[in-house]
Amino acid sequence: MAEKKESNINVTENEEENVLEIEYPKASFSKRLIAAIFDMVLFSIVAFMLYSYGFSYLTMVMPGYMENVETFTGRKAESKLFSDFYGDNDSTLITDYYRHEIAQTSEDDKMDKYWEANDAIEAALTSFYTNPSFYEVNNGIETYNLEKIPAHQERGTYFLYSEDGSIVRDSTKTGEEMYEFYQAAVNSALNYLYKDSTLINSSRVITYYHISMIALAIVISGSIFYLMFPFIFKKNRQTLGKLIFKLGVISADGLRPSGARTFARFAAFFGIEVLVSLVSFALPLIVSFSMFAFSKTGTSLHDYITNTYVVDISTYSIYKSVDDLKESDAHERDFDIKPKDVIYRK
């Protein structure tokens, strides 16, 4: 015959009433931490998959999103600093393209490739600085010429004035040396491009869409792991991590938390400790972890708010109600048990 477990219920008697004290072993710090990390890893993986393979594709069919993507990519292409060099409908910065091309070129042909890159970038920069949709007439090219030869100087590091007063390359410079100038010149042009109001507005809308999809993925994944599973494993209100490591959640009366309290616990944890932490340098999570690690009862912030406790249930199961307590053959009592008579002994 199997040995009967010792009861975790004690009766405290006084002159006025009897009180049932339900005791559970305190959940160890290591078990709770490992269970929490396990849940967090699964939650993060699912959130990432939802965003990467679900919601990011959902944005592709949203008219507002696609309209702004087309505006953004079209504006970049119009600048001539970006182009679809590889034919994959993806804009590539001209210097990135030629950096790759030069790296793939043999040493014998590399100098020719540098000059090819320099000519292409010069044409792109001239087109950008003379484009009236980015600059007023002549203002852009004047800005570019000042990069070649600074004001009040007779010549620059890479350029000089010809006899007719036009700016030409310094013939003593190699193709590789000139390429260094063009790389810096494109970076300067990008600083101007990214101040374009059309580009800024479309980029802002695209960012808002992605932030919304990330937030939705986080909320859905969090609801699955921190709300749905405690209702699936409702006997002990467990997440998957708590199920594996034999941990459970109880209310201050030592019984299973109600559905409303379980939802409030999820809202306190996910709403305050997760979502607010995303915009507050993880301050709520730091406070909660400090309470969990250093308080006598190991109560985290969301448990403190909802008056719940995480306990070790390796030995004892959690009673779901006073009726469940009454029906337990191992804990028969000779007095009527009422909800107010039951407490959790910390």
The pLDDT tens digits for 91-111 are 899 999 999 999 999 999 999
Proportion of the chain above pLDDT 70, given as a percent:
87
Closest Cα partner for 185 from 93, 74, 91, 84?
A: 93
Using alpha carbons, select from 133, 140, 35, 37 the residue that is nearest to residue 78: 133
161 in helix, strand or coil?
strand
Predicted local distance difference test score (pLDDT) of residue 341: 53
Q: pTM higher than 0.85, yes or no? A: no
pLDDT, tens only, 34-48 = 999 999 999 999 999
Segment 86-95 shows an average pLDDT of 82
Mean pLDDT of 309-319: 88
- Mean pLDDT, residues 135-143: 82
Confidence of residue 335 (pLDDT cuts 50, 70, 90): very low
What residues contact residue 202 under an 8 Å CB cut-off, 6+ apart? 68, 69, 71, 72, 75
Would you state the pLDDT for residue 219?
Answer: 94
Sequence-separated (6 or more) residues with CB below 8 Å from residue 219:
270
Tell whether the model's pLDDT for residue 238 goes beyond 90.
Answer: yes
Q: What is the mean pLDDT of residues 69-79?
A: 93
Least confident among 60-74, 77-91, 220-234: 77-91
User: What average pLDDT does range 208-212 have in this prediction?
Assistant: 92
Residues facing 93 on adjacent strands:
82
pLDDT at 113: 96
Confidence of residue 2 (pLDDT cuts 50, 70, 90): very low
pLDDT at 185 (0 to 100): 95
Identify the sign of the CA torsion 93, 98, 103, 105.
positive
Burial 256-285 (b: 16+ CB within 10 A, else e): bbeeebbebbbebbbebbbbebeeeeeebb
Who's near 299: CB < 8 A, 6+ residues apart? 291, 292, 309
In this prediction, residues 8-18 reach a mean pLDDT of 55
Q: What is the per-residue pLDDT for 6?
A: 52
* pLDDT interval class at 259 (50, 70, 90): very high
Q: Per-residue confidence at 308, pLDDT binned at 50, 70, 90?
A: very high
How many Å apart are CA 238 and CA 231, to the nearest integer? Answer: 8
DSSP one-letter string for 209-234: HHHHHHHHHHHHHHHIIIIIHHHHTT
The overall average pLDDT reported for the chain is: 87
pLDDT classification of 232: cutoffs 50, 70, 90: very high
CA distance 91 to 73: 7
Q: If pLDDT is split at 50, 70 and 90, which confidence band does 18 have?
A: low
| Separation of alpha carbons 82 and 158, rounded Å | 24
pLDDT the model gives residue 336: 53
The per-residue pLDDT for 111 is: 94
Q: Phi and psi (nearest 5°) for 236?
A: -120, 10
Least confident range of 57-66, 168-177, 276-285: 57-66
Which H or E run contains 338? none
What pLDDT was estimated at residue 4?
38
Contacts of 167 (CB under 8 A, 6+ apart): 145, 148, 149, 159, 160, 161
What band does 252 get if pLDDT is binned at 50, 70 and 90? confident
Compute the distance between CA of residue 134 and CA of residue 196 in angstroms, rounded to an integer. Answer: 7
